[in-house]
């Protein structure tokens, strides 16, 4: 699945949720400086806001297709997994990872981040988590249960609870590294309104759908489209942007 997101990098970049300005501002303000390493930068969605804030950003991305798109959007990218990437002696003020740290071994990733962070530098990994209203959750989950009864999507209404496992693993990896202070969690609430067309454009980029057959995906899109039509053709999705972060002590 991790290698499936680059199938349509342009759609991914166009439709995926961004991150609230408050999240970017807090990471920048809490950082040691403006040199940022973005792990799993994808098409640059997580990199460009830091560039706009005046940071010097280097992205690491294992998918060449995603990396190519990020480069075209002005992000410097090196193609590698974070675990295998060679920093060549370079160090950074902040290591970030948006919506991708769960593809990195959390213990190995935290230890690698510690190696490339200057003492006092910060690791900040973050995710956007859907927070649908009950009506939206019920309508969409009914479609997923019918079309994809055995998939993660069929449990979408409760999927945000699954993210707590990711936060816990990230925090545990930070503690295991032995070179960070106590991890913190920051939370930023935001929302976005979607038309039927906008939500259906984004849906195929989500992990539960990237590997579906064309026929099954079409059935999902038809069902979700009908559900949104029944809501009047649009809806508002609430999000929580959640950050797990810690400061490097520089001592093993």
pLDDT the model gives residue 152: 62
Q: Which residues pair with 95 in a beta bridge?
A: 37, 123
CATH number at residue 27: 3.40.50.150
Check pLDDT > 60 for residue 158: no
Average pLDDT, stretch 243-247?
Answer: 97
Check pLDDT > 90 for residue 156: no
Percentage above 90 pLDDT, the chain: 83
Check pLDDT > 80 for residue 38: yes
pLDDT the model gives residue 230: 97
Q: Which residues contact 99 (CB under 8 A, 6 or more apart)?
A: 16, 40, 42, 46, 126, 127, 128
Residue 33: count of CB within 10 angstroms of its CB: 15
Average pLDDT, stretch 108-128?
Answer: 96
User: Does residue 88 belong to any structural domain of this protein?
Assistant: yes
User: Does residue 81 belong to any structural domain of this protein?
Assistant: yes
User: Does residue 224 belong to any structural domain of this protein?
Assistant: no
Alpha helices in 40-101 (DSSP H): 48-52, 64-72
Name which of 180, 174, 172, 175 is nearest 251 in CA terms: 180
pLDDT the model gives residue 165: 84
Q: Which residues pair with 77 in a beta bridge?
A: 59
pLDDT the model gives residue 251: 59
Q: Among 150-154, 156-160, 204-208, 220-224, where is mean pLDDT lowest?
A: 156-160
Contact 77, 70 (CB under 8 A): yes
User: Does residue 182 belong to any structural domain of this protein?
Assistant: yes
pLDDT the model gives residue 206: 82
pLDDT the model gives residue 250: 78
User: Does residue 90 belong to any structural domain of this protein?
Assistant: yes
Residues 163-216 pLDDT 10s:
778 889 999 999 999 999 999 999 999 999 999 999 999 999 887 777 788 999
User: Does residue 230 belong to any structural domain of this protein?
Assistant: no
Domain count, the chain: 1
Q: Among 11-20, 108-117, 200-209, 229-238, where is mean pLDDT lowest?
A: 200-209
Check pLDDT > 90 for residue 159: no
Q: d(Cα 160, Cα 139) in Å, to the nearest integer?
A: 16
User: Does residue 20 belong to any structural domain of this protein?
Assistant: yes
Check pLDDT > 90 for residue 151: no
Q: d(Cα 98, Cα 36) in Å, to the nearest integer?
A: 13
Check pLDDT > 50 for residue 117: yes
Q: Is 1 helix (H, G, I), strand (E, B) or coil?
A: coil
Average pLDDT, stretch 138-145?
Answer: 93
Per-residue burial over 5-30, b = 16 or more CB atoms within 10 Å of its CB, e = otherwise? bbeebeebbebbbbbbeebbebbbee
Residues 54-109 pLDDT 10s:
999 999 999 999 999 999 999 999 999 999 999 999 999 999 999 999 999 999 99
Domain hosting 166: range is 5-130+158-192+237-247
User: Does residue 147 belong to any structural domain of this protein?
Assistant: no
């Amino acid at each position: 699945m991790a290698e499936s997101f680059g199938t349509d990098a342009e759609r991914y970049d166009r439709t995926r949720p961004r991150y609230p300005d408050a999240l970017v501002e807090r990471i920048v303000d809490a950082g040691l400086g403006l040199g940022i390493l973005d792990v799993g930068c994808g098409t640059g969605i997580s990199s460009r806001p830091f560039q706009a804030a005046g940071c010097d950003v280097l992205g690491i991305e294992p998918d060449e297709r995603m990396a190519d798109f990020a480069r075209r959007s002005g992000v410097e990218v090196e193609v590698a997994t974070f675990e295998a990437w060679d920093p060549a002696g370079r160090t950074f003020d902040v290591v970030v990872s948006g919506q991708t740290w769960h593809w990195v071994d959390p213990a190995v990733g935290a230890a690698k981040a510690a190696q490339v962070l200057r003492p006092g530098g910060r690791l900040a990994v973050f995710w956007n988590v859907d927070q649908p209203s009950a009506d939206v959750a019920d309508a969409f989950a009914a479609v997923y249960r019918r079309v994809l009864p055995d998939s993660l999507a069929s449990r979408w209404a409760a999927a945000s609870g699954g993210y707590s496992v990711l936060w816990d693993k990230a925090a545990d990896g930070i503690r295991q590294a032995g070179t960070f202070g106590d991890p913190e969690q920051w939370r930023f609430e935001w929302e976005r309104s979607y038309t039927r067309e906008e939500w259906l454009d984004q849906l195929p980029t989500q992990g539960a759908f990237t590997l579906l057959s064309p026929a099954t995906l079409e059935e999902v899109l038809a069902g979700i489209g009908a559900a949104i039509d029944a809501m009047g053709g649009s809806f508002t999705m609430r999000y929580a942007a959640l950050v797990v972060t810690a400061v490097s002590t520089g001592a093993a």
